[in-house]
Amino acid sequence: MEKDCVSMGNGKIFNRNFIMVVVGQIISLFGNSILRFALPLYLLNQTGSSSLFGVVVACSFVPMIVLGPVGGIFADRVNKKNIMVILDFATAMLTFVFAMMLGNFDVVWLILVTMMILYGIQGAYQPAVQSSIPVLVPQENIMQANAIINLVNSFSGLIGPVVGGALFAFFGVYPILYVSIACFVASAVMEIFIRIPFEKKEACGNIFAIGFSDIRESLGYMIHEKPIILKLCFIVAVINFFLTALIIIGLPVLITQILGFEPETANRLYGYAEGVIAAGSLVGGMSAGILSKKLKAKNGYRTLFFCSLTLLPIGLAVFFNISDMSAYFLIMISCFVMMILATLFSVQIISYLQIIAPNDMIGKIISCASCIGMCATPLGQVIYGWLLEIFSGNVYVVIFVAMAITCLISVGARGIFLELEEIMSGENL
């Protein structure tokens, strides 16, 4: 097969096509990063409501969750390069339309609709990238390749909010929109020249019947052939509900409303905070690549446990009412460590799924697993937006309760990771 010739035959991870995928991701994700940073912050500044902020961000996640499996189906049935090109051009057009409409329509509804479409595009886009990795690199290098893609994501996330925060603080939202449009167009043009091995499948029935059949096939495989995947999805979903949703909603609320900085300073500091989080993800991705041969599936619960413990300093910073800047730095250090551990865990899980899943089902299985894992995040965002408004004077209560729950869940998941270790040992024989 061509797949063997392209990815397995040369035994190299840095082949031409993989490098072009990486470069395309750098450009596209940078544009996406500054855009997803600026729009929610603009909404929070305009309304000052953490509950409304939580609802809008939660609604934005729903299309990404719903369209994830759809993206997986297309990734297995359509040329992955074409998916990337079309969706990058579509995102550029979406951003341009938003820029033209801003100021002429209600800002809440405009940002809500735009972010829902933006996240939906991302949900359909990422399975194409993730499912292209196993056909571009040898199996023994899959974790390193995922670490590189994660590094790219983290690097874009590091630079994007910092640049976006500075642009937003001094010039407003429009320069961010124009920069992101240029990024999406440049990425789409470059991706036209990528060659990803593709074997067209015979289609039986209409597109809805095909989609339903593919999803049923993926879920059937996860239920009957590899139930460990569903167990992992459940753990990820619960952690996303209690931990991820708290950070997504809580961090901007803490910095821009609870700590008491001036609005311009708060916006800039929030941009730096997002950059610190991305830096932690960058370090975590590098660590995953360097330690890929030493990381063990059975230790996954420990990674989650220590990741949960990083909420402790954040809660203490608020509880003891220390100076705003001291609290800010303590929160940043905690988030940095949290993201190192979270990224290590994420890269491992994605790599394990890519190894376990059959090559012709990778896109569908990963997207279905991601859908299940993320399905609880929007609900958590809505609840945390509401709780942070109710407990605005005692935010540490929300943080400490979330920490306690996620620590207990991590310890309780030990048996699942021991089972995963046995499966991975069998796959590597």
Model pLDDT for residues 83-125, shown as the tens digit of each residue: 888 988 999 999 999 999 988 888 888 999 998 888 888 877 8
Q: Name which of 125, 380, 85, 368 is nearest 242 in CA terms.
A: 380
Rounded to whole angstroms, the Cα distance separating 314 from 334 reads 7
Give the Cα separation of 141 and 131 in Å (integer). 14
Cβ–Cβ < 8 Å for 340, 154: no
Report the C-alpha gap between 297 and 424 in whole angstroms: 8
- Judge whether 164 and 180 are in contact, CB under 8 Å: no
Half-sphere exposure of 190 (CA within 13 A, CB side): 19
Structure tokens given for 422? 């046995």
pLDDT of 177 strictly over 70? yes
Residue 398, pLDDT > 90, answer yes
Q: What is the pLDDT of residues 22-43, one digit of tens each?
A: 888 888 888 888 888 888 888 8
CB 243 within 8 A of CB 235: no
Sign of torsion over alpha carbons 382, 386, 391, 393? positive
Q: What CA–CA distance (Å, rounded) separates 168 from 163?
A: 8
Task: Give CA–CA dist 6/215, Å, rounded.
Answer: 28
What is the pLDDT at residue 93?
Answer: 94
Residue 429 has pLDDT above 50, yes or no: no
User: Residue 312: which pLDDT band, with cuts at 50, 70 and 90?
Assistant: very high
- How many residues in the chain? 429
14-193+215-427 is classed in which CATH architecture?
Up-down Bundle (1.20)
- Tell me the C-alpha distance between 319 and 60, whole Å: 31
Per-domain boundaries in the chain: 14-193+215-427
Q: Give pLDDT tens digits for 222-270.
A: 888 888 888 888 998 999 999 989 998 899 889 988 888 887 788 788 8
Q: What is the mean pLDDT of residues 197-205?
A: 60
Contact between 342 and 193 (Cβ < 8 Å): no
Q: Distance from CA of residue 382 to its chain's centroid?
A: 18
